[in-house]
Amino acid sequence: MSNIKNVVIIGASGSLGSVVFEKLVASGKFHVRALKRVGSSSKFPAGTEVVEVDFDSLDSLKSALAGQDALVSTVSSGGLESQKTLIDAAIATGVKRFIPSEFGSNLDNPNARKLPVYGHKVAVQEYLIEKARTTGITYTLVYNSAFLDWGLKHKFILDVSGDKPTIIDGGNRPFSTTTLSTVADAVIGVFGHLEETKNRGVYIQDAVITQNQLLEMAKKAAPNRSWDVMHVKLDDLTAEADAKLTKGDYSMQTFVPYLYRAVLDPAYGGNFTGKTDNELLGIKEMSEAEVFEVAKSFVYTT
């Protein structure tokens, strides 16, 4: 039995956070409090307990976390570093379980861990791991590899909205993929299985898929459209990114190829086959037909 009742969520207005927030509330199992940055224009449904905080102030965070059992952070890349102060505040106020803003690649994989795009996430993990050794806080890292719905909407795993999808390294590399909704289910599953998920990464997926399979689904959904596929090599993409980093270009655009490396290169652990925690967390994989329905919703048919 979980003794998690009061859950605080950070970044609850975001792409992932809004879905996690909705599902936490809808589960009826938790009292949910949302923390937002002072001056943020984030909006929440009427009746939501919202606390404005200064994420650089330990005192501000401590008063916002008073009485909370668990914390889930879904902050964007800009907010990752500030999670260290959040961890300090969580320890000071007796928060039992801390779920940091991971929700992506398998950072237990030593190769993925070294990718420049994950510097802040790894630093936060290391801080949290050390604190879990020396204080009462515990943590869970949720690894879901590439988002499926978000990844199609934002043309990351494949651009099925235009006519020129980019296929990387031939398109036959299998990777794990997960919808935002399933990630939210996993968070709730963690709160229901505190001991089994204590101080480790949990692996979840809705499906394992390839870019070519997604392209076939897009073609099936829009049989009258023509497709002008662009083929690129992952090594070329990351070599370009390396060159940009050397010149001091730290834009998100520069970092994207490293995300592809983590998702698609088998040496970086983006295919979770045989190691998922789906069963523990109550997640049922999607059938091919269900994945097709998700993919179809992002394909323009005319």
Smallest distance from the beta carbon of 135 to ligand NAP, in angstroms? Answer: 23
CB of residue 284 to ligand NAP, shortest distance in Å: 20
**Closest approach of ligand NAP to the CB of residue 195, in Å:** 25
Q: Which is nearer to ligand NAP, 77 or 253 (CB)?
A: 77
Distance between CA 113 and CA 105 in Å, rounded?
9
CA-CA-CA-CA dihedral for 142, 77, 51, 6, to nearest 10: 10
User: Which of 11, 165 has the CB closer to ligand NAP?
Assistant: 11
Give the residue from 205, 215, 186 showing the smallest Cα distance to 292.
Answer: 215
Nearest Cα residue to 255 out of 75, 74, 84, 121: 121
Nearer to ligand NAP, 1 or 252 (CB): 252
- Least separation, in Å, of the C-beta of 70 and ligand NAP? 17
Give the nearer residue to ligand NAP in terms of CB position, either 191 or 255.
Answer: 255
**Order of strands, sheet of 175-178, starting from the edge strand that comes earlier in the sequence:** 146-147, 175-178, 207-209
The residue (of 79 and 269) whose beta carbon lies closer to ligand NAP is 79
Distance from C-alpha of 224 to C-alpha of 231, rounded to nearest angstrom: 22
Residue the block writes with tokens 């949302």: 34
Residues lying near ligand NAP in the complex (CB under 6 A): 11, 13-17, 36-37, 40, 42, 55, 74-79, 82, 101, 103-104, 144, 146-147, 150-151
Nearer to ligand NAP, 38 or 243 (CB): 38
The three-state DSSP-derived secondary structure of 41-90 is CCCCCCCCEEEEECCCCHHHHHHHHCCCCEEEECCCHHHCCCHHHHHHHH
Give whichever of 147 and 298 is closer to ligand NAP, judged by the CB atom: 147
HSE-up of residue 273 (Cα within 13 Å, Cβ side): 8
CB of 34 to ligand NAP, least distance (A): 7
Min CB(118)–ligand NAP separation in Å = 9
Rounded to a whole number of angstroms, the minimum distance from the CB of residue 48 to ligand NAP is 11
